[in-house]
Amino acid sequence: MTNPLLAPWTAEFGLPPFAAITDADFGPAFDAALAEARAAVGAIADQEAVPTFANTIAALELAEGALDRVSGVFYNLAGADSTEAREALMRDLAPKMSAFASEVTNNKRLFARIDDLWARRDGLGLEPEQMRVLTLYRRMFVRSGAELEGAAAERLTEVKARLAVLGTRFSQNLLADEREWFMVLAEDDLEGLPDFVVDTARAAGKERGQNGPVVTLNRSLIVPFLQFSPRRDLRRVAYEAWVARGANGNAHDNRAIAAEILALREERAKLLGYDSFAAFKLEPEMAKTPDAVRDLLVRVWEPAKRKALADAAVLEAMLVADGAAGPLEPWDWRFYSERRRKAEHDLDEAALKPYLSLDAMLGAQFDCANRLFGLEFREMAGPFYHPDVRGWEVTRKGAHVAVFLGDYFARSSKRSGAWCSAMRSQRKLGGDQRPIVVNVCNFAKGEPSLLSYDDARTLFHEFGHALHQMLSDVTHGFISGTSVARDFVELPSQLYEHWLEVPAVLEQHARHWQTGAVMPADMLARLLAAGTYDQGFATVEFVSSALVDLAFHEGAAPADPMARQAEVLETLGMPRAIRMRHATPHFAHVFSGDGYSAGYYSYMWSEVMDADAFAAFEEAGDPFHPETAARLERHILSAGGSEEAEVLYTRFRGRMPGVEALLKGRGLLDAA
């Protein structure tokens, strides 16, 4: 019987045959795809023909076609709908995939061909995109150790293989802790909780096989529980379980794994001739150096901390007025902040959510994409990889652009957080390949699903990434879509969040799910006025995490990461009632892979640009200004990694921005 992953995909738009795929298909499919890729790469390396862009670089672009298809399906499913079989295969694949990558970059004959092209690049008559792709291929090979010899090359291969294993284990440990912990609630424990929190807790209890409601460690449940539960004792239990993920002294403890990862990263950097892993990692990014990262973060830290400390004093006074013993604790902040928000802005999240149904906010994000870029969305029937998943064909002027899949609801088989990925990326080489783009979130499932304003912001954020993938218009997959500098990749996503704040968008789409009534004008005004509320807290949470990440990778790897974390936070004067957004044992951005290692700062680096980029629309007097939208698409969304990020941004905006736009956007200018 033919493996459905390896047979031609004949479904509409070349979608994977989801209904025909079983877990048993993935292992054999990877074995066959890896063998095919090895043979193709070997043939490129061993050919006798003089190296050309076509027979070397373009050929490499197409050499892993089957592996790309199988990987695109598997890794999306492994993160969004994990099973024991998929987790076992992930552990098995981590060293295999790392070994294959090392085989390619350590292939001396292959690198010699690339190096030969590089030496002759000015006489090859390459188009600008081809020159960029050649530059990036050579840089990738060099940074992967292609110039190393003997024992150093062998050791680097071992280090990278071990890092792949540890990153997978870190992720699976975190998922296990999140999946296994829950707190059963008695009916009396539901007092003070809005209906949407109670409904979510009851649904979570049913999923966990309980007869009543439970609190889990999923953000879509635990955060509103911390916001609304008047039971300080229960808030403490839930909060401490939440921040202890990966550090419970059980089989899923991530602390030793984090220490080993940091040591191996330092060794990797030293083998490649860098002073630190941060220096190695930041070299190809916009920031370039650890000093540039620290300068940004410190400039934001001090005003954010001043604002947070002032807010903490107000919240602690509210706590004491309730008759509770101070000081304000981390499990108190969200509860009293929510109460303060309601008092100062007359904004009640429970009253707001009926106007922010998932369907309404999907309509808003699609409408904005239509008004900005002319995209249209037609819902498809499926089936997709899970019953919760919805799909849309994306078109423009009748032409197919992409398939967009949305997987929005929390479940125990899904890792926490929200992300965008591509089961298939855009490219023109070898035929016009249109992307299959996936947004994954962890919203509470309901009839209907009602979002918080932060949830709606997350929806828009991930869709900004999706637009970066869908509107990509390059020849080579190597630079397609989000294949850009890490501190540039968050620009499209964070920029798209701004359209959620456009009053006309909410006036049109924020309608009560039962009555269809528009959000009352006074509620809308209060919502937008509260846009910078609690930004001291949010900024301190983020910047402390980013500074700890930088400290981990900037010098010698700490033998005890938890001690180093504590040292950094003490030096910063971390407010006692706020914890890092991601403490080390559950800092998946940094330890589940190399993506955001020494790079968590990139969200804030991109925020400097996104505040300035949206100002271009404001200066034009129209949030949907056609010429500005066209420049945004041409120079950023469709360009992928075709040029350095600062070149692309400057072409769109005419200059690079300063940090003032970020401070203004977060309401921190007065505290600066």
Is pLDDT of 509 > 80? Answer: yes
Residue 671 — pLDDT band, cuts 50, 70, 90?
low
Average pLDDT for 529-537: 91
> String of b and e for 388-427 (b: at least 16 CB within 10 Å)?
bbbbbbbebeeeebbbbbbbbbbbebbbbebebbbbbbbb
Average pLDDT for 644-649: 96
Q: What's the pLDDT score for residue 672?
A: 58
At residue 479's C-alpha, the angle toward residues 476 and 485, to 5°, is: 175
Distance in angstroms (rounded) separating the CA atoms of residues 600 and 550 = 8
Is pLDDT of 117 > 90? Answer: yes
Residue 448 preceded by cis peptide, ω within 30: yes
Distance in angstroms (rounded) separating the CA atoms of residues 49 and 274 = 36
Q: What's the pLDDT score for residue 620?
A: 97
Residue 9 — pLDDT band, cuts 50, 70, 90?
very high
Listed residue (656, 601, 576) closest to 298, CA to CA = 601
The answer to whether the CB of 134 falls within 8 A of the CB of 118 is yes
Residue 17 preceded by cis peptide, ω within 30: no
DSSP letter at 584 equals G
- Higher per-residue confidence, 132 vs 555: 132
Distance in angstroms (rounded) separating the CA atoms of residues 440 and 383 = 17
Residues with Cβ within 8 Å of 39's Cβ and at least 6 positions away in sequence, in order, are none
Say whether 363 sits in a helix, a strand or coil.
helix
- Count the Cβ atoms, other than its own, within 10 Å of residue 81: 17
Average pLDDT for 281-301: 95
Residue 59 token pair:
């050929």
Q: What's the pLDDT score for residue 350?
A: 87
Q: Which residues are identified as catalytic?
A: 462
Instruction: Give the model confidence (pLDDT) of 183-219 as tens digits.
Output: 999 999 999 999 999 999 999 999 999 999 999 999 8
Distance in angstroms (rounded) separating the CA atoms of residues 160 and 147 = 16
Helix (H) or strand (E) holding 617: helix 602-620
Is pLDDT of 347 > 90? Answer: no
Average pLDDT for 298-306: 95
Q: What's the pLDDT score for residue 659?
A: 85
Q: Largest Cα–Cα distance in the chain?
A: 83
Average pLDDT for 494-522: 96
Residue 664 — pLDDT band, cuts 50, 70, 90?
confident
Average pLDDT for 618-638: 98
Is pLDDT of 44 > 80? Answer: yes
Q: How high does pLDDT run on average in the chain? A: 95
Q: What is the dihedral of CA 77, 78, 80, 84, to 10 degrees?
A: 110
Q: What's the pLDDT score for residue 231?
A: 97
Is pLDDT of 662 > 90? Answer: no
The answer to whether the CB of 161 falls within 8 A of the CB of 98 is yes
Residue 594 token pair:
């190399």
